Amino acid sequence: MLNEQVVFITGAGRGIGRAIAELFASKGAIIAAAARSVGEITEVCDNITSAGGRAIPVQMDLTDESSIKNAITKAQSELGPIDILINNAAVITLHKIVDTPTDAWDQLMSTNMRGLFITCREVLPQMIERKSGRIVNVGSMAGRRGYIEQAAYCASKHALVGFTKVLALETQKFGIRVNMLSPGGVLTGLSTDLRASRGESEDSPEWMTADEVAAAALYLCSQDGAALTDELVLRRYASEPWR
């Protein structure tokens, strides 16, 4: 399905990013696994190559513009033009607004929006030149609703919705397909503190798995005809429908 397509995935060392990397590799994609932790992305790439796939680890800090540029340059020089960009990396902080430290707010925004914007900006020129490409921005139900103690996270994900809309408008004429994937609660390290704050177990069957979200990302990247999904929303089955 994705034979020989180069896929650049942020936050690929764990959780949703890792699940996407492994699933896409099993479908023939060539993976550039990007994250801050070299150990984690190296393990992911080793697993992929051991299974007969092709992947390289790319260290990247989304709060550092030079790091982002160097990571993209490395991926393109070693693997070729990027066909699919998956913007998955994100951080969360849990504070009521009155208790939110400014540096925590800035760090989250720098990772979740500023770093994502720079990544798109640096990948777009070669997609525009080739008049081909896909970008999937991993959002959240927090981009559609508000949640107590998640002001910074909700603000970043609401901003991502607006950014993705403009990205799709500006790139449509170049044959670039832009999607937003917005899952609700997923069993990942990112949600550990959130689940603990709600008194929910580490393996709650009511929370989605990273593999389920990866399957949705694969669906988006398989659309190649007249139809396109602007946003794919995944809610937990146990949550209230249509809310």
Residues belonging to the active site: 153
For tokens 């929910």, the residue is 200
CA atoms within 13 A on the CB side of 90: 26
Strand order in the sheet with 133-138: 54-59, 30-35, 6-10, 84-87, 133-138, 176-183, 231-234
Distance set, CA 69 to CA 62, 118, 120, 132 (Å): 10, 8, 11, 21
Q: Give me the amino acid identity at 173.
A: K
3-state secondary structure of 100: coil
For residue 181, what are its two tokens?
A: 């994937």
E-strand spans in 118-241?
A: 133-138, 176-183, 231-234
For tokens 């393996």, the residue is 203
What torsion, rounded to 10 degrees, do the Cα atoms 90, 94, 97, 98 define?
A: -140
